[in-house]
């Protein structure tokens, strides 16, 4: 099952800060992102405008190897390379534009399931994803 949706939020973080936090692959990354699992985090390669990493979460228990690309200014695209529950090629993108000293951020989330856990996650995101991601990212970025 494939699910695609868009989400938007406004944050006090600048577009540069939005990209910086999304592309911070330091050991501190899982602590900056409350939903991230410390155990699932692994960095494979970091380039000038792209990286390959493994990330996951503890609930629901999922992991994915992601290719991050931030070559486009004020934008980050994450594409699944491999996952235990989601199909390769799924993605999420976020683009930040200046707004009242912070940013207006537009996101697109598209994932397809390949397991029962993946199906449950995709169905859940279909129901609550836009509201959940808008709220989650706003809280994370407003803490900067």
Burial 27-37 (b: 16+ CB within 10 A, else e): eebbeebeebb
Q: Look-up: residue for tokens 């099952």?
A: 1
For the chain, what percent of residues have pLDDT higher than 70? Answer: 100
CATH number attached to the domain at 2-142 = 3.30.530.20
* Per-residue pLDDT reduced to its tens digit, 102-115: 999 999 999 999 99
pTM: 0.94
pLDDT surpasses 80 at 60 = no
Helix or strand or coil: residue 117?
helix
CB 88 within 8 A of CB 80: yes
Q: What residue ranges do the domains of the chain occupy?
A: 2-142
Residue carrying structure tokens 């930040």: 96
| Structure confidence at residue 51 (pLDDT) | 98
pLDDT at residue 27 greater than cutoff 90: yes
pLDDT at 131: 96
Give the confidence band of 127 by pLDDT, cuts at 50, 70, 90: very high
Q: How confident is the model at residue 22 (pLDDT cuts 50, 70, 90)?
A: very high
DSSP string, 69-102: E--STTEEEEEEEEESSB-TT-EEEEEEEEETTE
Distances (CA, A) of 115 to 25, 62, 84, 102, 129: 28, 11, 8, 39, 19
């Amino acid at each position: 099952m494939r699910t695609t949706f868009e989400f938007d939020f406004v944050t006090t973080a600048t577009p540069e800060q939005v990209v910086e936090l999304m592309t911070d692959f330091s050991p501190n990354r899982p602590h900056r992102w409350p939903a991230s699992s410390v155990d699932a985090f692994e960095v494979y390669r970091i380039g000038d405008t792209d990286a390959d990493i493994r990330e996951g979460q503890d609930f629901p228990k999922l992991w994915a190897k992601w290719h991050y690309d931030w070559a486009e200014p004020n934008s980050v695209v994450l594409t699944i390379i491999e996952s235990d529950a989601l199909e390769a090629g799924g993605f999420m993108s976020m683009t930040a534009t200046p707004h009242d000293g912070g940013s207006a951020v537009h996101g697109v989330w598209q994932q397809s399931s390949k397991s029962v856990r993946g199906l449950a996650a995709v169905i859940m995101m279909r129901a609550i994803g836009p509201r959940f991601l808008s709220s989650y990212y706003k809280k994370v970025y407003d803490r900067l």
